[in-house]
Amino acid sequence: MTGNSVASHYASSGIAGRLVAALRAEIGPEAAITPDALAPLDHFHGRGVLATRELLAVLAPLPADHVLDIGCGIGGPARWIAAKTGCRVTGIDLTPDFVEAATALTEATGMAGRVRCLQGSALDLPFAESTFDRAYSQNVVMNIADKKRFYAEAFRVLKPGGLLALSNGAAGSGDPYFPVPWAATAATSFLSTVDDTRRDVEAAGFAIERFHDVTDDIRAQVAAQRRRAEAEGLPRLGLHVLMGDRMRTYLANSQRSIEDGRVRMVEVLARKPA
C-alpha cells in the first residue's frame, strides 16, 4: 500500500519527452543530449547535481566497478557517475514511470551499454548476494518505513569489502513543512534521526567509514537558493519540468525545513567487512 502511494506521488506520463523538449528549447535542436546537459533536470535532489558530485567524491568508484543505484529515479545520477568514472551502473526504482523515463534518457545519451535501470523494490532487490562492488542511494530512504530491511538488502548484494554511500534527509526537530519533494503528506515520509541512521546502518553489519551531518555546512546555500527562487522564479530547467508546478512549493518547503532544522542532511560511507 505504501509502495503504491510512493509510486503515485512520483508518477507522471511522458517524462522523457517533456525533459528532452525542455532541454532542446534551451540548447538547440542539434546539440547532444549528455548527462551534463540533462543535469539540471534529472538529479532529484534539492541541491541537484552538486549533491551527486559530493556523493561521487565519497564513493569514488573505479572504472572496472559495477555499481548499484538504489532508488535511481529517472537515472540522472547513474548516467552522470558512469560518464564521469567509466564504471557500470545498475539502477533500481519503485516508480514505473521513472524507470521508463530512465531507460529512454539512457538511450538518448548513448549510455545503454553501461547504465541500466530496472523497476523493483529496494526492500527486495532482484540480485544475487555479493553482486556489486559499490552501491549508493540518494534521497530515497526518506520513503522507506522498514530501514532495517533497506540496509540489509544493500549489505546482501554488495561484495565483501564493498562500499555503500548514502546521501539523504533525516529527522530534525519537528516535522517537515509538508508537502516536500519526497512526500505530499506524512503518510509516505519516514525520517529517522541522525543517530538512528548510524545505528541502523551498523546493525545491518556495515562498518561506518565516514558519517557527516552536512546540515550546518549547506544551510546558507539552501537559504540563498530559496531566496533566489522567490525573487527571480525558478530557472527554466529544473525539477519542476519533471514533477510539474507543485515542485515550486515542494522545494521551498524542503529548503525551509532544512533552514529551520526540521530536516537534517546526512552523508554516510559504510563498508561491508571483507
> Is residue 176 involved in binding ligand SAM (CB under 6 A)?
no
Question: Closest CB to ligand SAM among 119 and 130?
Answer: 119
- The Cα 68–Cα 122 span in angstroms is 11
> Is residue 73 involved in binding ligand SAM (CB under 6 A)?
yes
- The Cα 195–Cα 177 span in angstroms is 22
> Is residue 182 involved in binding ligand SAM (CB under 6 A)?
yes
Q: Please tell me the count of residues contacting ligand SAM according to CB under 6 A.
A: 25
Residue 146 burial (CB count, 10 A): 13
User: Which residues face 69 on adjacent strands?
Assistant: 91, 136
Residue among 95, 75, 84 nearest 8 (CA): 95
In the list 43, 88, 114, 240, the residue contacting ligand SAM (rule: CB under 6 A) is 43
In the list 61, 77, 162, 176, the residue contacting ligand SAM (rule: CB under 6 A) is 77
Query: CB of residue 124 vs ligand SAM: minimum separation in angstroms?
Result: 9
Burial class (CB in 10 A: 0-12, 13-18, 19+), 77: buried
7-36 burial, b for 16+ CB within 10 Å, e for fewer? bebbeeeebbebbbebbeeeeeeeeebbbe
In the list 143, 192, 197, 253, the residue contacting ligand SAM (rule: CB under 6 A) is 143
Looking only at the bridges linking them, the beta strands covering 207-213 and 158-171 are unpaired
Query: Cα 160 from chain centroid?
Result: 24
> Is residue 89 involved in binding ligand SAM (CB under 6 A)?
no
Which of 132-140, 153-161, 211-219, 223-231 is the region at the interface with ligand SAM (rule: CB under 6 A)?
132-140
Query: CB of residue 39 vs ligand SAM: minimum separation in angstroms?
Result: 10
In the list 81, 94, 111, 194, the residue contacting ligand SAM (rule: CB under 6 A) is 94
> Is residue 123 involved in binding ligand SAM (CB under 6 A)?
yes
Question: Closest CB to ligand SAM among 73 and 172?
Answer: 73
Residue among 78, 80, 83, 84 nearest 98 (CA): 78
Looking only at the bridges linking them, the beta strands covering 132-138 and 158-171 are parallel
Question: Closest CB to ligand SAM among 28 and 39?
Answer: 39
> Is residue 138 involved in binding ligand SAM (CB under 6 A)?
yes
Q: Which residues contact ligand SAM (rule: CB under 6 A)? A: 6, 10, 43-45, 71-73, 76-77, 92-95, 98, 121-123, 138-140, 143-144, 181-182
